[in-house]
Structure 1
Amino acid sequence: MKKIAIIGGGACGSAALIELIIQSISASLQNQISFVLIERQKKVGYGLAFGSKQPSHILNTQADIMGIYANEPDDFAEWLKAHGGKYRSDVKSESDEENAYTSRLLYGHYVAEQLEESIKKAKANQINIEVIEAEAYDIDRLENERLLIYLTNDSTTEVDEVLLAPGTPKPNTFKHFKDNLNYIDFPWPTKNLLERTGKKDHVGILGTSLSAIDTVMSLVDNGHTGKITMFSPDGMLPRVQPDENKDFERKYLTLSNLHKLKREKGHPPRAKELFRLFIKDVEETEGKPLNWKSFNRDSKDQLPLLEYDIKVAEKGGDSLLNMAYSMRYDTSRIWSWMSLHEQIIFTKWLGRHWTITRHAIPLHNAKRLAKLIKEGQLEIIPQNNEVSFIQEKNHFKITTGKDGIFEVKKLINATGSAAKLEEMQNILVENLLKKDYLKPHPIGGTVINPHTMQCISEKGGEHIYAVGHLVNGMLMDVNAVWFNVKTIARLASEIIFKTTANGHV
């Protein structure tokens, strides 16, 4: 009997168990394989990302590619049609269900329902499923190559394979503020955020990305009337996602052309080559050369840019936005073809601009954000370079390079999920890192075999896998459910293959 453990019961962990159940039944592994799902929350299927009850916490991806099944991307859109469709109060859409943006919680309900049905189906096929409400905090490799998982409920479980799916990793930055009651180290769960901020407090938010925007929405949804100031090194907001993007046909930046480049020039794609091809595609669509320096939004007034983006999004997006959106299924492949050196160059040179274009704000929230800025409640400040606490004033001081010094009563770290392993505040990751069971990737996350999702390290062995944010350096789009679902399908196939190939059947 082979036993598989999935650590983490959010969207990634749920998708993994669902896919493993599907493949186990298809491979007739009844009585030959069992699963244990380890999740610290009472409810599985939600995690931090999709357990939020805030109505303005909405998906930043349309419903039609959010199916939890690897090869059925439209399953969520079909589920949505059967559960009230675009007329629900927790669905934001000016067109049809396929292009709808739903609340995160509604998506969590969908995932939880699919997981429950899959577990019932597994049990009907004599496949044992155990769900443990606890946190896994350590793993030991045993002499027989099995893995012993230590749990916070003072128990252990011994398994053959482990999948790490811990969800959104909390950053451990600003550790010197951790005991300060005016500092909130993470915007989730929202209850903690709301309990520790007064409605009239001047709140500072570190970050201007989607996590920071969700934080703003949490505050104003719950009656916050005080000033909100967002700080980040570049002060750039994400662009605005249309309800439905216009089609964009790429002629130059294609997998075919990049493979030809590798074949003829004998080197992997370089960041400069990718950018040149990107420019050619956009300028051909526009029918004219463009001033590319003018697209730099670093440290600029964000309100005019946001208002422009809203108008553009209402018309289906501009060439830059639609070009980036058209690449969503190719970016990870392109990234894997690049050398580490070129990946680092791309990250430093273009990474921020790519991120704000590819991971945009849903139109509904963008309009609310613009209103808050125009009314003076929200301010966005770039070039923050120092954060300190003034004891006698009981305030935080944020020193910036452009607009001087700011003081706020409460400070929220909404810089987004931690990238590097050593920056992740997760006891299991910390312990696996100490044991060399995980090997840090220079850009972020852990080193894996991208074909199987198996972790590659000196001492970890061959039975630990990872998905989602834990592999953010080697793979792109790991914050997208649809992408993680695809990688999970590969991982599940590998585990099922190992099970059948090693004589378990």
Structure 2
Amino acid sequence: MKNIAIIGGGACGVSVFIELFLKITSMDLTGKVSITWFEKNKDLGYGLAFGTREEGHLLNTQADLMGIYADEPDHFAEWLKVHGGKKREEVKGQGSEENAYTARILYGHYLAEQAKKYLKKSEKVGLRVNAIHAEIIDFDHTAAGYILKDHAGKQYECDFTILCLGTPKPNTYKEFLKYELYIDFPWPSEPIVRKLETDIGHVGVLGCSLSAIDTVMTLEDHGYKGKILLFSPDGLMPRVQPAGHNEVERKHLTIKNVHQYKRKFLKRINTKALFRMYRKDVEHNLGKKVNWKSLNRIGKDAFKLLKKDVEEAGTGGDALMNLAYSLRYDASKIWMGMSTDEKVKFMKWLGPHWAINRHGMPLYNAKRLLHLMENNTLKVVPFLQEVKYNGREGKFSIRCADREYQVDLLINATGSPSKLEEMNTELVGNILKKDIIKPYPAGGAVVNERTMQLMAKNAGDGLFALGHLVNGQLMDVNAIWFNVKTVKLLSQEVIFKIQQDAVS
């Protein structure tokens, strides 16, 4: 009997459990495999991302790409139709259920329902599944497999370990943890809400990406009327997703052309060549040359840019953003074909602008932000230089290029860190010290991208990972559609290894 341990019960954990169940049962392995599933929260399916009950915390991807099954991306949209569809308060946006952006808690309900469904199926078919409410904080690899240890010191043995750890906290600004008016992470939202019960003046938010936008939604949804300042080194806000993207034609930046580049030059595609192809496609779709320097948004007026983006989103979006979205399924393939050095170079040169175009905010939330900016309630301040605590006044001082700002409440919404050593996760820290996982230069851990097996000195051959933990070597690891596709690869490899062990 082989035991598979799944660590984490969020979206990735649910997806890998269901895919393993389907493979185990369909391949007549029910009596040869057991599963132990660990989740520190009370309920399976929600995790940090989809357990938030804030109505302004919306999915950043439309419903028809959020199915939890690898070969059924529209499953969530179909589920939504059966469960009230556009009539529900949690469903935002125009158009059909397929194009809707729902509250994250609704997606959490969907995941929880699927998890319960297949746990019951496991009982019915006789597959041994033990769902344990515990947090795994450490493990070791031995000749016999893996020994996991939870927060209470209890140990568990398994043959395979699958890490589905979800979104890690950043460990930046740790020096402020001792101050009552500092919040180190926007989720869960309860610490922010509790602070609003007192008399809070200005609120400062570190960051202006999707995490910061969720923070603003929390503040407004709970009646905060004061000033909100978003501080960022570059001042780049995510662009706005239209209800439906205008069609674009890609003639240059294609998988075929990337492969032809390799045949012609006998080397992998580089950052400059990719950007050249991208520019050609944008200009082809616009029918004119573009002044690319003028499109650099770093430090530009966020209000004017947001207003422009909202207007363009209302008519299907612009070529720059629509081209990025048209690369949804090809970008990961191209990324995996690049050298490590070129990945690092891409992230340094183009990463911030790629991120805001490829991972935009829902139009519904963009309009709310624009309203706050028009009322002079919300402001984005670029060129963040220094943050310190002013003990005499009991305020935080944030120095930027233009001047120094004072805020009463400071919230760290800088987003999840990419490097392993910057992830504020006890388990990651412990296994990193033991060389059970190995850092990848562009972020995350080294992984066999064909199988999702982690590759490190002391990893063994039964350790796998999904999601943010492998964010550097792979792209789109925070997207459900991408993760469920990699779940398919991972589960195939695990079952293959089990079958090989049975033969030998």
Q: Which residue in 2 is equivalent to 1:373?
A: 373
User: Letter of the aligned partner of 1:419 in structure 2?
Assistant: S
Counting only pairs closer than 5 Å after superposition, residues 99-248 of structure 1 correspond to structure 2 as 99-144=99-144, 146-197=145-196, 198=198, 200-248=200-248
Distance in 2 separating the partners of 1:84 and 1:432: 44
User: Letter of the aligned partner of 2:95 in structure 1?
Assistant: S
Deviation at 1:143, TM superposition (A): 2.8
User: Letter of the aligned partner of 1:219 in structure 2?
Assistant: L
Q: Is the 8 A contact 2:200 2:409 kept in 1?
A: no
Q: Is the 8 A contact 1:54 1:218 kept in 2?
A: yes
Alignment partner of 1:33 is 2:49: no
User: Letter of the aligned partner of 2:345 in structure 1?
Assistant: I
Deviation at 1:66, TM superposition (A): 0.6
Distance in 2 separating the partners of 1:15 and 1:31: 21
Deviation at 1:200, TM superposition (A): 3.7
Q: Which residue in 2 is equivalent to 1:479?
A: 478
Write the deviation string for residues 446-501 of structure 1: whole angstroms up to 9, x where unpaired.
11001111111111111111110000110111111111111111001100111112
Q: Which residue in 2 is equivalent to 1:81?
A: 81
Q: Is the 8 A contact 1:199 1:224 kept in 2?
A: no
User: Letter of the aligned partner of 1:334 in structure 2?
Assistant: I
**Segment drifting more, 359-368 vs 337-346:** 337-346
SS of structure 1 residue aligned to 2:502:
coil
Q: Is the 8 A contact 2:419 2:444 kept in 1?
A: yes
Counting only pairs closer than 5 Å after superposition, residues 234-273 of structure 1 correspond to structure 2 as 234-273=234-273
TM-score scaled by structure 2? 0.98
Deviation at 1:430, TM superposition (A): 0.6
User: Structure 1, unaligned stretches of length 5 or more?
Assistant: none
Q: Which residue in 2 is equivalent to 1:49?
A: 49
Q: Which residue in 1 is equivalent to 2:5?
A: 5
Q: Is the 8 A contact 1:248 1:322 kept in 2?
A: yes
Q: Which residue in 1 is equivalent to 2:326?
A: 326
SS of structure 2 residue aligned to 1:493:
helix
Deviation at 1:20, TM superposition (A): 0.8
Distance in 1 separating the partners of 2:227 and 2:216: 11
Distance in 2 separating the partners of 1:464 and 1:325: 32
Deviation at 1:93, TM superposition (A): 2.4
SS of structure 2 residue aligned to 1:95:
coil
**Segment drifting more, 424-433 vs 245-254:** 245-254
Distance in 1 separating the partners of 2:205 and 2:49: 19
SS of structure 2 residue aligned to 1:247:
coil
Distance in 2 separating the partners of 1:10 and 1:326: 28
Q: Is the 8 A contact 1:199 1:223 kept in 2?
A: no
User: Letter of the aligned partner of 1:127 in structure 2?
Assistant: L
Distance in 1 separating the partners of 2:122 and 2:273: 49
Deviation at 1:64, TM superposition (A): 0.6
SS of structure 2 residue aligned to 1:94:
coil
Distance in 2 separating the partners of 1:141 and 1:200: 49
User: Letter of the aligned partner of 1:286 in structure 2?
Assistant: L
Deviation at 1:199, TM superposition (A): 5.8
Moved over 2 A (4+): 196-201
Write the deviation string for residues 317-354 of structure 1: whole angstroms up to 9, x where unpaired.
11111100000001111111111111111111110000
TM-score scaled by structure 1? 0.98
User: Letter of the aligned partner of 1:166 in structure 2?
Assistant: L
Distance in 2 separating the partners of 1:377 and 1:443: 37
Aligned residues: CA RMSD = 1.1
Q: Is the 8 A contact 2:271 2:345 kept in 1?
A: yes
Distance in 2 separating the partners of 1:429 and 1:332: 25
Q: Which residue in 1 is equivalent to 2:422?
A: 423
Write the deviation string for residues 411-455 of structure 1: whole angstroms up to 9, x where unpaired.
111000121111111111010001010101111111100111111
Distance in 2 separating the partners of 1:436 and 1:399: 39
Q: Is the 8 A contact 1:6 1:164 kept in 2?
A: yes
Write the deviation string for residues 385-406 of structure 1: whole angstroms up to 9, x where unpaired.
11111111111111111x2101
Q: Is the 8 A contact 2:200 2:408 kept in 1?
A: no
Deviation at 1:87, TM superposition (A): 1.8
Distance in 2 separating the partners of 1:47 and 1:180: 27
Write the deviation string for residues 203-235 of structure 1: whole angstroms up to 9, x where unpaired.
100000000000000011001111110000011
Distance in 2 separating the partners of 1:262 and 1:121: 48
Distance in 2 separating the partners of 1:109 and 1:271: 41
Q: Percent identity?
A: 50
Number of paired residues? 503
Q: Is the 8 A contact 1:2 1:34 kept in 2?
A: yes
**Segment drifting more, 492-501 vs 193-202:** 193-202
SS of structure 2 residue aligned to 1:502:
helix
SS of structure 2 residue aligned to 1:476:
coil
